[in-house]
């Protein structure tokens, strides 16, 4: 019985004793806590910057990987963008210079990015201007003449249109050089005045809607396209009018003779370049009406402003200088006569410039 109690007592005492014995782990934790509390420094105004830097330094080790990851993403994005841009330019270059595409997409790109198709002396000739000329002719022949450019004859015709468009834009480049050198320009108001002059005679339709439809159906043009073409044409005419001094002097001489009382018919036979009227004393074989298409709109407008027997001032029709005489008027028709002085062709002035500064084409036609 005693042994049993002893055993029981020993077991209980032993458990209590074990509980009182601290483990190594708790001792270490206690020591660390004691050291930490002992070494904690008091934060003051003097030590605040030091503690702030300590905290920020601890945060930086987490922030840096994020920054690194973001920079990697940016570099990757830029790399993809560069590859895409290079691929785009390679594609467009092949379409323009190898396959010579005339598609609407390539045409729109050439309008934004000034790819060159040739160089006329010091002037770059844009691919856009070339396609502008070529596409309107292609549109006309396909829609109005039902041309098939896939056939053997159609391919030859397309090559001819390409050469025509190339020659035109190169000529336009030399004309612009001549215009700059001689201080010749054409304003948007002059373009609008020209359109209004023609519109008054119903030569471009009786409304903006009709004109827009005609331009779209025949040439695939917008109104702005038409103005662009007209401005270049007027610039060419203005350059010739400025440079062709001999024709100007000839017209002025005849006009002064008429003011002095010289006979209109006699001077017409002697000086006029209008082969259809000069042998008849300059008189037209038909009556001019507001809708007459066989004379320039400037002539129609001027002749209706004259009284019978009156002589006009010198009129520039763009391609010639003209002096008019009203013979008789009946309602909306006028019998009239003219003395015409044709300007020199633009090549008279562009050819020497081209010879001195040859052009170079960047596509093979």
Pair (226, 257) in one structural domain: no
Q: Are 136 and 179 found together in one domain?
A: yes
Instruction: Say what the pLDDT of residue 77 is.
Output: 84
What is the per-residue pLDDT for 55? 57
Q: What is the pTM of this model?
A: 0.77
pLDDT at position 181 is 97
Q: Give the residue-averaged pLDDT of 243-247.
A: 98
- Residues 211, 299, single domain; the answer is no
- Is the pLDDT at 316 greater than 50? The verdict is yes
Answer whether residue 76 shows pLDDT above 50: yes
pLDDT at 113 over 90: yes
Examine the domain organization and report whether 221 and 280 are in the same domain. Answer: no
Q: Considering the chain, what percentage of its residues have pLDDT values greater than 90?
A: 70
Q: Which tokens belong to 309?
A: 């027997």
pLDDT tens-digit readout, 192-214: 999 888 777 666 666 778 888 88
* Domain match, 320 and 282 both: yes
Q: Each residue of 138-169: pLDDT tens digit?
A: 999 999 999 999 999 999 999 999 999 999 99
Same domain flag for 127 and 212: yes
pLDDT above 90: residue 42: no
Domain boundary among 192, 208, 243: 243
For residues 128-140, average pLDDT: 97
Tokens for 6, please give them. Answer: 């002893």
| pLDDT at site 30 | 57
Q: Are 153 and 252 part of one and the same domain?
A: no
Query: Would 199 be classed as within a structural domain?
Result: yes
Range of lowest pLDDT (43-47, 285-289, 300-304): 43-47
Task: Assess if residue 107 is contained within a domain.
Answer: no
Do 121 and 236 lie in a common domain?
yes
**Reported confidence tier of residue 26, pLDDT bands at 50, 70, 90:** low
Whether 19 is covered by a domain: the verdict is no
Is there a contact between 312 and 331 (Cβ–Cβ < 8 Å)? no
Last residue of a domain, one of 99, 128, 154: 99
Q: What is the CATH number of the domain that holds 279?
A: 3.10.50
Dist. CA 273–CA 343, nearest whole Å: 10
Question: Quick check: 1 pLDDT over 50?
Answer: no
Q: Give yes or no: residues 239 and 211 share one domain.
A: yes
Is residue 31 in a domain?
A: no
Averaged pLDDT for residues 309-328 = 97
Say yes or no: 251 and 338 in one domain: yes
Does residue 239 fall inside a structural domain? yes
In a domain, 238, yes or no: yes
For 272-279, what is the mean pLDDT? 96
- pLDDT of residue 18 exceeding 50, the answer is no
Q: Residue 3 — pLDDT band, cuts 50, 70, 90?
A: very low
Does 144 lie in the same domain as 214? yes
Indicate whether 176 and 284 sit together in one domain.
no
Count of domains observed in the chain: 3
SS (H, E, C) the chain: CHHHHHHHHHHHHHHHHHHHCCCHHHHHHHHHHHHHHHHCCCCCCCCHHHHHHHHHHHHHHHHHHHHHHHHHHHHHHHHHHHHHHHHHHHHHHHHHHHCCCCCHHHHHHHHHCCCEEEEECCEEEEHHHHHHHHHHHHHHHHHHCCCCCCCHHHHHHHHHHHHHHHHHHHHHHHHHHHHHHCCCCCCHHHHHHHHHHHHHCCCCCCCHHHHHHHHHHHHCCCHHHHHHHHHHHHHHHHHHHHHCHHHHHHHHHHHHHHHCCCCHHHHHHHHCCCCCCHHHCCECCCCECCCCCCCCHHHHHHHCCCCCCCECCCEECCCEEEEEEEEEEECCEEEEEEEEEECCCCHHHHHHHHHHCCEEECCCC
pLDDT at 90 over 70: yes
pLDDT at 59 over 60: no
Residue 179 lies in a domain: yes
Instruction: Note down the domain range covering 80.
Output: 60-99
Looking at the predicted structure, is the pLDDT value of residue 23 above 70?
A: no
**Percentage of the residues of the chain whose pLDDT score is greater than 70:** 78
Residue 24 lies in a domain: no
Tell me what the mean pLDDT of segment 80-104 comes to. 94
**End of a domain among 216, 243, 270?**
243
Whole-number average pLDDT of the chain: 86
């Amino acid at each position: 019985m005693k042994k049993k109690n002893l055993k029981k007592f020993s077991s209980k005492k032993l458990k209590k004793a074990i509980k009182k014995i601290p483990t190594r782990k708790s001792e270490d934790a206690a020591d660390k806590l004691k050291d930490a509390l002992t070494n904690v420094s008091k934060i003051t105004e003097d030590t605040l910057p030091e503690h702030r830097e300590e905290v920020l330094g601890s945060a930086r080790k987490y922030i840096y990987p994020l920054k690194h990851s973001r920079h990697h993403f940016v570099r990757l994005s830029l790399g993809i963008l560069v590859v895409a841009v290079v691929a785009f330019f390679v594609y467009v270059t092949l379409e323009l210079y190898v396959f010579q595409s005339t598609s609407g997409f390539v045409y729109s790109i050439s309008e934004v990015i000034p790819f060159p198709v040739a160089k006329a002396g010091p002037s770059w000739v844009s691919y856009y201007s070339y396609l502008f000329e070529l596409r309107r002719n292609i549109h006309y022949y396909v829609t109005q003449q039902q041309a098939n450019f896939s056939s053997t004859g159609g391919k030859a015709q397309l090559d001819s249109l390409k050469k025509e468009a190339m020659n035109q834009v190169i000529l336009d480049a030399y004309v612009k050089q001549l215009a700059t050198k001689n201080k010749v320009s054409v304003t948007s108001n002059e373009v609008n005045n020209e359109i209004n002059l023609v519109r008054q005679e119903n030569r471009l339709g009786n409304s903006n809607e009709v004109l827009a439809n005609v331009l779209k159906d025949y040439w695939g043009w917008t109104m702005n396209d038409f103005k662009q073409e007209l401005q270049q044409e007027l610039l060419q005419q203005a350059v010739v009018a400025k440079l062709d001094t001999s024709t100007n002097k000839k017209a002025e001489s005849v006009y002064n003779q008429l003011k002095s009382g010289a006979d209109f018919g006699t001077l017409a036979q002697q000086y006029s370049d209008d082969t259809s009227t000069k042998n008849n004393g300059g008189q037209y074989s038909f009556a001019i009406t507001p809708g007459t298409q066989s004379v320039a709109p400037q002539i129609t407008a001027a002749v209706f402003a004259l009284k019978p027997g009156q002589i006009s001032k010198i009129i520039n029709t763009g391609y010639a200088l003209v002096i008019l005489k009203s013979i008789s008027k009946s309602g909306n028709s006028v019998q009239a006569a003219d003395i015409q002085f044709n300007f020199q062709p633009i090549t008279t002035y562009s050819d020497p410039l081209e010879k001195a500064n040859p052009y170079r084409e960047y596509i093979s036609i």
